[in-house]
């Protein structure tokens, strides 16, 4: 008897060569973790797909949860049948009945199992005849039909479906190494974090808080953002750096116009130190070219100068509207709409420099003991762990887990 399952389709993974199984196995692991709250019976690889079965019938809710996992191109609620012709023809009728309103349809059969006697054209005719008999007032349309009924013969079973939900695509988290991301409670950096996670990176966000000069509201919003990203499984640990007092020191030492650049040079330096602790290979920011004063080419170069790791800027060519639409898609928009004072609003200059000269930046940089400040900030970092990222492994020096924000010295 046919039962409903989730058939997971991927695209980029299918283009891989001899290491394809590595990507497939990582996707299987990530799906198991992301579906931890559902009654999963099994997650396993089959030819060209991943099959997810549940203790009962698979539902739209479970398919939606699967669609949010990076590496999933689309997911289909499919009927799993045996090779009995009557069984999979009946399943095709039921699948088309559940497809909603339609005028035209077609059948498209694919066969990965060459041991099955019927050719795909024979399957098309067989299932098409059953559907025409059941839906005599609907027409068969080979080009651009309203609904396509898929009949896929794989590993001695037949999967029948007529509807699929698009996935986020990309590559499974954990296949592209580890990165440190600069994460605020605004719109840009959560989207940047999600985008590099969608490319397979394990993300370790670092939030610079205005504490003790501002309330810790932004820290709670940032944690809400990490929880909103939980279905994608891109984050395993969040670091928080209380930065407010050090910002005040910088604001008193450097020219007003160069405050932001000096703040960001310190932030990048601390992020690089955390990356070294974590074994991360790059730093990620949510910068978009020309969006604010610190994001001009001259100022980006002045900040990049202090780090040796690559700095990835996935949003560099995006405008604010594009970023906000993406924030809605990934579930962080409403959180980022909440206002909270943080280090980004603390001790801001009236007229920030937009085209910094390196000699002036160097002079400002030497006007305070930046090495001691960076060391102090690294020693004062706090962190909280999440169970949403199976590819995350904590560094040896900071292996103790914290379920609420706690300092590294504990």
Structural contact between residues 393 and 33, judged by C-beta atoms closer than 8 angstroms: no
Domain boundary residue, one of 120, 137, 166: 166
- Which structure tokens are listed for 192? 């940047």
Peptide bond into 2 cis (omega under 30): no
Q: Which of 112, 143, 166 is the last residue of a domain?
A: 166
Asked if residue 148 and residue 31 are part of one domain, the reply reads: yes
Say if residue 54 is in the same domain as residue 159: yes
User: What pLDDT tens digit does each residue of the chain (410 aa) get?
Assistant: 689 999 999 999 988 888 999 999 999 999 999 999 999 999 999 988 999 999 999 999 999 999 999 999 999 999 999 999 999 999 999 999 999 899 999 999 998 866 788 999 999 999 999 999 999 999 999 999 999 999 999 988 999 999 899 999 999 999 999 999 999 999 999 999 999 999 999 999 999 999 998 888 999 999 999 999 999 999 999 999 999 999 999 999 999 999 999 999 999 999 999 999 999 999 999 999 999 988 999 999 999 999 999 999 999 999 999 999 999 999 999 999 998 877 677 777 788 889 999 999 999 999 999 999 999 999 999 999 998 899 999 998 888 888 888 776 54
- Of 166, 193, 213, the residue that ends a domain is 166
How far, in Å, CA of 101 to CA of 98, rounded?
A: 9
Task: For residue 370, give its domain range.
Answer: 178-407
Residue 172 lies in a domain: no
**Is 187 one of the annotated binding-site residues?**
no
DSSP label of 380? T
286 assigned binding-site residue:
yes
CATH number of the domain that residue 280 is part of: 3.40.50.620
Query: Has residue 384 been placed in a domain?
Result: yes
Helices 297-304 and 358-365 pack at an angle, to 10 degrees, of 40
Do residues 143 and 50 share a domain? yes
C-alpha gyration radius of the chain? 26
171 within domain boundaries? no
Does 151 lie in the same domain as 236? no
User: Structurally, how many domains does the chain consist of?
Assistant: 2
Residues 246 and 152 in one domain: no
Q: What is the CATH number of the domain that holds 155?
A: 3.30.2130.30
β-pairing verdict for 202-209 and 178-182: parallel
Token digits for 96? 């088309």
- Same domain for 153 and 193, yes or no, is no
Q: Are residues 65 and 117 in the same domain?
A: yes
- 158 and 185: one domain? no
Q: Are residues 105 and 232 in the same domain?
A: no
Binding residue per annotation — 208? yes
Whether residue 210 is contained in a domain is answered as yes
**Are 247 and 383 members of one domain?**
yes
Beta bridge partners of 81: 158
Tell whether 228 is covered by a domain: yes
**Would you say 88 and 127 are in contact if contact means Cβ atoms under 8 Å apart?**
yes
Show Cβ contacts of residue 112 under 8 Å, excluding neighbours closer than 6 positions: 47, 48, 152, 153, 154, 155
């Amino acid at each position: 008897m046919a039962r409903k399952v989730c058939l997971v389709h991927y695209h980029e993974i299918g283009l891989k060569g001899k290491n394809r199984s590595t990507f497939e196995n990582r996707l299987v692991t990530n799906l198991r973790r992301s579906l931890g709250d559902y009654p999963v019976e099994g997650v396993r690889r089959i030819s060209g797909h991943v099959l997810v079965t549940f203790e009962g019938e698979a539902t739209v809710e479970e398919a939606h949860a699967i669609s949010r996992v990076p590496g999933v191109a689309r997911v289909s609620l499919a009927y799993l049948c045996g090779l009995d012709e009557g069984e999979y023809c009946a399943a095709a009728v039921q699948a088309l009945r559940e497809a909603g309103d339609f005028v035209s349809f077609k059948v498209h059969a694919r066969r990965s199992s060459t041991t099955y006697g019927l050719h795909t054209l024979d399957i098309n005719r067989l299932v098409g005849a059953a559907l025409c008999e059941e839906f005599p007032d609907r027409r068969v349309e080979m080009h651009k039909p309203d609904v396509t009924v898929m009949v896929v013969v794989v590993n001695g079973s037949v999967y029948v479906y007529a509807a699929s939900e698009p996935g986020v695509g990309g590559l499974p988290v954990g296949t592209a190494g580890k990165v440190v991301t600069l994460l605020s409670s605004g719109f840009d950096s959560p989207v940047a974090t999600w985008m590099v996670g969608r490319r397979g990176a394990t993300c370790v966000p670092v939030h610079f808080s205005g504490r003790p000069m501002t309330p810790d509201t932004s820290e709670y919003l940032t944690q809400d953002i990490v929880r909103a990203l939980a279905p994608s499984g891109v984050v395993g640990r969040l670091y928080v750096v209380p930065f407010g007092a050090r910002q005040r020191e910088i604001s008193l030492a450097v020219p007003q116009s160069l405050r932001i650049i000096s703040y960001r040079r310190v932030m990048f330096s601390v992020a690089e130190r955390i990356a070294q602790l974590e074994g991360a290979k790059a730093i990620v920011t949510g910068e978009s070219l020309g969006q604010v004063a610190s994001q001009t080419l001259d100022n980006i170069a002045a900040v990049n100068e202090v780090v040796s790791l690559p700095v990835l800027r996935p949003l560099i060519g995006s405008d604010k509207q594009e970023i906000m639409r993406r924030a809605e898609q990934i579930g962080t928009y409403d959180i980022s709409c909440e206002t909270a004072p943080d280090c980004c609003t603390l001790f801001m200059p009236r007229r920030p420099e937009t085209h910094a000269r390196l000699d002036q930046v160097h002079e400002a940089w030497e006007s305070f003991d930046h090495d001691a400040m960076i060391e102090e900030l690294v020693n004062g970092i706090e962190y909280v762990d999440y169970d949403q990222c199976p590819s995350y492994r904590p560094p040896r020096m900071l292996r103790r887990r914290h379920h609420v924000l706690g300092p590294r010295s504990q």
